[in-house]
């Protein structure tokens, strides 16, 4: 038997990983040839790898570690809960204290009358729940033909069959025969990439009105819901023009459809308020939550549901849906403790009034870099478009993502985790970042951008498409 421990050499660990571990969203052969980086531990905003590098985590893991790493309280709560009740289901007309406490707390924190929660293990399966829930809702109201869910191109709603179908990622749809039936996609409010000569506000309105056109085309009697991320995350931190969401809200109000806000990233302080819907003044009927709900310390997600939808669901017999680990007591207890920390330590306010504004100022200044086309942020998420020609917002002549990947590798070499989406660099750091952390992050980002610029120029890649 192989005994794997953190005392092993990096090469041995990476070899075993290559031999036995299939990575998500990864080219396996490519990764196995170079070996995965082994992350051993983390504290605050810093990861430590098996080579002893201390790396600033500007992605908060995968958009989730809102309170930062290494909080003892969550370890304590997890240990206590495992000793008391490690597992029990909520199918058998049974419940438990962590489920009750978390559902009650979420109802208190959520805006409007989102007073009910159906628990999942993450965002993808919560969105699967949403597909089934909105269809069930309309069937219960005597409108079973309202089946279609409208989403957007380049949206990300997870990677299950349902989640990936709701999402609008072309590369995902190509694999496995997606999307599943009755899910359709309209354009995204991505002015920088697609707005051409229009002003951002004109373009935002135009893209919002695609929703109304799609409803008319399908017939209102066929449409169950519209789903969208308040701010697209995995699509490249796409901050919509200001005209977009008010128009979407108007259209949803004018037609008989449900609005689902996928707040898996934008929830729990990311945009400087508890929910992105508050920052952008959106009134959803259902809200998808995960990631920051537990700050990633345990897998848990869910659907926050408004009074009316919950009443109809509750009043229409059995909803034949659920997961073994819905409201898992250990995950629920951890999430509850995470929410306590976010609230009592005023971390959401910190993100909204201290870290967010400081980041906004420093990040915006990156637009002066010769490689940068736009640099924008909202709360604690930010995006930087790389371009060979600022004035025309041109894409590079090379395959999309070539320059982004170079930049990401320079970032890693400079002990900074920054993600690339195509040729766009994005961050979503832990909300607890102090201005001094942001200074370090920006300094490493600038150094990485300088090195990227040198490399791109030297390799003759500074060409517009
Ligand atoms: C990450 C993400 C999901 C999927 O969540 P998982 O926990 O990975 O299943 C869904 N929606 C959005 C907006 C996300 O960012």
Atom of ligand 1 nearest to the CA of 121: 7
Query: Tell me, what DSSP letter sits at residue 355?
Result: I
What is the C-alpha to C-alpha distance for residues 398 and 103, in angstroms, rounded to an integer? 49
Residues 138, 156, single domain; the answer is yes
- Per the structure, the complete domain to which residue 213 belongs is given by 73-344
Which pLDDT band holds residue 201 (cuts at 50, 70, 90)?
very high
Residues 339, 374, single domain; the answer is no
Residue 59 domain-assigned (yes or no): yes
The pLDDT score that the predictor gives to residue 212 is 98
- The dihedral formed by the CA atoms of 33, 58, 45 and 69, expressed in degrees to the nearest 10: -70
Ligand 1 centroid vs 122 CA: distance in angstroms?
A: 7
Residue 5 domain-assigned (yes or no): no
Assign 342 to helix, strand or coil: helix
Which pLDDT band holds residue 2 (cuts at 50, 70, 90)?
confident
Ligand 1 centroid vs 262 CA: distance in angstroms?
A: 8
Q: Of 344, 370, 404, which one is at a domain's C-terminal end?
A: 344
The pLDDT score that the predictor gives to residue 210 is 98
- Candidate from 156, 275, 284, 286 with most ligand 1 atoms within 8 A of CB, to mutate: 156
Which pLDDT band holds residue 424 (cuts at 50, 70, 90)?
very high
Residues 396, 437, single domain; the answer is yes
User: Residue 218, class by beta-carbon neighbours within 10 Å (0-12 exposed, 13-18 middle, 19+ buried)?
Assistant: middle
In angstroms, the Cα distances linking 262 to 287, 288, 420 are 6, 5, 21
Across residues 426-444, what is the average pLDDT? 98
What is the C-alpha to C-alpha distance for residues 418 and 420, in angstroms, rounded to an integer? 7
Q: Of 316, 344, 372, which one is at a domain's C-terminal end?
A: 344
Residue 54 neighbours by CB under 8 Å, 6+ apart: 46, 47, 48, 415
Phi, psi of 49 (to 5 degrees): -100, 175
Atom of ligand 1 nearest to the CA of 263: 13
Phi, psi of 455 (to 5 degrees): -70, -45
The pLDDT score that the predictor gives to residue 114 is 98
Please provide the size of the chain in residues.
Answer: 465
Residue 1 domain-assigned (yes or no): no
Q: Of 306, 322, 344, which one is at a domain's C-terminal end?
A: 344
CB of residue 262 inside a 6 A radius of ligand 1: yes
Which pLDDT band holds residue 306 (cuts at 50, 70, 90)?
very high
What is the C-alpha to C-alpha distance for residues 420 and 60, in angstroms, rounded to an integer? 14
CB of residue 156 inside a 6 A radius of ligand 1: yes
Residues 146, 124, single domain; the answer is yes
Q: Whose CA is nearest to atom 5 of ligand 1?
A: 123
Mean per-residue pLDDT of the chain: 97
Judge contact between 359 and 322, C-beta under 8 A.
no
Which pLDDT band holds residue 449 (cuts at 50, 70, 90)?
very high
| Listed residue (181, 156, 102, 118) closest to 321, CA to CA | 118
Which pLDDT band holds residue 176 (cuts at 50, 70, 90)?
confident
Ligand 1 centroid vs 190 CA: distance in angstroms?
A: 20
Ligand 1 centroid vs 77 CA: distance in angstroms?
A: 25
What is the C-alpha to C-alpha distance for residues 119 and 401, in angstroms, rounded to an integer? 36
Residue 25 neighbours by CB under 8 Å, 6+ apart: none
Residue 8 domain-assigned (yes or no): no
* Structure confidence by residue, pLDDT tens digits, 276-305: 999 999 999 999 999 999 999 999 999 999
* Structure confidence by residue, pLDDT tens digits, 79-98: 999 999 999 999 999 999 99
CB of residue 267 inside a 6 A radius of ligand 1: no
Which pLDDT band holds residue 46 (cuts at 50, 70, 90)?
very high
CB of residue 290 inside a 6 A radius of ligand 1: yes
Ligand 1 centroid vs 8 CA: distance in angstroms?
A: 33
Residues 317, 442, single domain; the answer is no
Q: Whose CA is nearest to atom 6 of ligand 1?
A: 123
Ligand 1 centroid vs 276 CA: distance in angstroms?
A: 15
Residue 172 domain-assigned (yes or no): yes
Residue 133 neighbours by CB under 8 Å, 6+ apart: 118, 286, 303, 305, 309, 313, 319, 321
Give me the DSSP letters along 292-333.
GGTTTSS--EEEEEEHHHHHHHHTTS------TTTT-HHHHH
Residues 250, 149, single domain; the answer is yes
Atom of ligand 1 nearest to the CA of 124: 9
Cα-to-chain-centroid distance, residue 296: 12
* Structure confidence by residue, pLDDT tens digits, 378-419: 999 999 999 999 999 999 999 999 999 999 999 999 999 999
CB of residue 358 inside a 6 A radius of ligand 1: no
Across residues 230-249, what is the average pLDDT? 98
Ligand 1 centroid vs 227 CA: distance in angstroms?
A: 13
Ligand 1 centroid vs 7 CA: distance in angstroms?
A: 33
Residue 6 domain-assigned (yes or no): no
What is the C-alpha to C-alpha distance for residues 433 and 356, in angstroms, rounded to an integer? 9
Across residues 241-258, what is the average pLDDT? 98
Residue 19 corresponds to which tokens in the numbers above? Answer: 């031999």
Report how far apart the first and last C-alpha atoms of the chain are (Å, whole number).
54
Residue 387 corresponds to which tokens in the numbers above? Answer: 């371009």
- Candidate from 62, 124, 236 with most ligand 1 atoms within 8 A of CB, to mutate: 124
CB of residue 234 inside a 6 A radius of ligand 1: yes
Residues 329, 309, single domain; the answer is yes
CB of residue 265 inside a 6 A radius of ligand 1: yes
Ligand 1 centroid vs 179 CA: distance in angstroms?
A: 17
The pLDDT score that the predictor gives to residue 464 is 95
| Listed residue (380, 287, 313) closest to 67, CA to CA | 380
CB of residue 300 inside a 6 A radius of ligand 1: no
> Number of folded domains in the chain?
2
Q: Which residues pair with 118 in a beta bridge?
A: 303
Q: Is-cis flag, bond preceding 179, omega within 30? A: yes
Ligand 1 centroid vs 382 CA: distance in angstroms?
A: 18
Phi, psi of 133 (to 5 degrees): -70, -45
What is the C-alpha to C-alpha distance for residues 44 and 220, in angstroms, rounded to an integer? 49
3-state helix, strand, coil in the chain (%, to 5): 45, 15, 40
The pLDDT score that the predictor gives to residue 353 is 98
Residues 54, 170, single domain; the answer is no
Residue 273: CATH number of its domain: 3.40.640.10
CB of residue 233 inside a 6 A radius of ligand 1: yes
Residue 224 domain-assigned (yes or no): yes
Residue 272 corresponds to which tokens in the numbers above? Answer: 């400087």
Residue 252 neighbours by CB under 8 Å, 6+ apart: 211, 226, 258, 259
Residues 195, 57, single domain; the answer is no
Residues 305, 353, single domain; the answer is no
Residues 306, 174, single domain; the answer is yes
User: Residue 51, class by beta-carbon neighbours within 10 Å (0-12 exposed, 13-18 middle, 19+ buried)?
Assistant: exposed
What is the C-alpha to C-alpha distance for residues 64 and 44, in angstroms, rounded to an integer? 13
Residues 359, 271, single domain; the answer is no
| Listed residue (463, 456, 381, 360) closest to 425, CA to CA | 381
Q: Where are the beta strands (DSSP E) in 307-428?
A: 372-378, 381-386, 416-417, 419-421, 424-427
Atom of ligand 1 nearest to the CA of 123: 5
Which pLDDT band holds residue 53 (cuts at 50, 70, 90)?
very high
Residue 29 domain-assigned (yes or no): no
Residue 410: CATH number of its domain: 3.90.1150.10
The pLDDT score that the predictor gives to residue 1 is 78
């Amino acid at each position: 038997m192989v005994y794997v421990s953190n005392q092993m050499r990096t090469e041995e660990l990476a070899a075993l990983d290559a031999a036995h571990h299939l990575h998500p969203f990864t080219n396996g052969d490519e990764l196995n040839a170079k070996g995965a980086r082994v992350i051993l531990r983390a504290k605050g905003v810093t990861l430590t790898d098996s080579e002893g590098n201390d790396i600033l985590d500007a992605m908060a893991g995968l958009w989730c570690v809102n309170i930062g790493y290494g909080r003892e309280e969550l370890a304590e709560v997890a240990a206590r809960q495992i000793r008391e009740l490690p597992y029990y289901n909520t199918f058998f007309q049974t419940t438990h204290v962590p489920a009750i406490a978390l559902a009650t707390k979420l109802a208190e924190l959520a805006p409007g009358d989102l007073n009910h929660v159906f628990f999942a293990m993450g965002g993808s399966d919560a969105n699967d729940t949403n597909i089934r829930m909105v269809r069930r809702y309309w069937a219960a109201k005597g409108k079973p033909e309202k089946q279609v869910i409208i989403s957007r191109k380049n949206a990300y709603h997870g990677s299950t069959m349902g989640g990936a179908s709701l999402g609008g990622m072309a590369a995902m749809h190509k694999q496995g025969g997606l999307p599943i039936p009755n899910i359709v996609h309209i354009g995204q409010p991505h002015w920088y990439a697609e707005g051409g000569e229009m002003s951002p506000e004109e373009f935002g309105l135009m893209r919002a009105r695609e929703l109304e056109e799609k409803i008319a085309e399908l017939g209102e009697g066929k449409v169950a819901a519209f789903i969208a991320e308040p701010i697209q995350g995995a699509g490249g931190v796409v901050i919509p023009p200001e005209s977009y969401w008010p128009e979407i809200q108007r259209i949803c109000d004018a037609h008989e459809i449900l609005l689902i806000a996928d707040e898996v990233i934008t929830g729990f302080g990311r945009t400087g308020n508890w929910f992105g819907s508050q920052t952008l003044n959106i009134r959803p009927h259902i809200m998808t939550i995960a990631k920051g709900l537990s700050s990633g310390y345990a897998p848990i997600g869910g659907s926050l549901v408004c009074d009316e939808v919950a009443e109809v669901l509750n009043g229409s017999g059995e909803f034949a849906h659920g997961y073994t680990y819905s409201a898992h007591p250990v995950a629920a207890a951890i999430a509850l403790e995470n929410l306590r920390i976010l609230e009592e330590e005023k971390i959401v306010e910190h993100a909204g009034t201290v870290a967010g504004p400081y980041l906004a100022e420093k990040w915006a200044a990156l637009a002066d870099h010769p490689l940068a086309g736009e640099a924008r942020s909202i709360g604690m998420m930010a995006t930087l478009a790389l371009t060979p020609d600022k004035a025309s917002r041109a894409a590079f002549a090379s395959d999309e993502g070539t320059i982004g990947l170079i930049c990401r590798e320079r970032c890693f070499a400079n002990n900074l985790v920054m993600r690339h989406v195509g040729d766009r660099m994005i961050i979503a750091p832990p909300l607890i970042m102090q201005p001094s952390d942001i200074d370090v992050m920006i300094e490493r980002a600038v150094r990485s951008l300088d090195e990227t610029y040198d490399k791109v120029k030297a390799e003759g890649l500074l060409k517009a498409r």
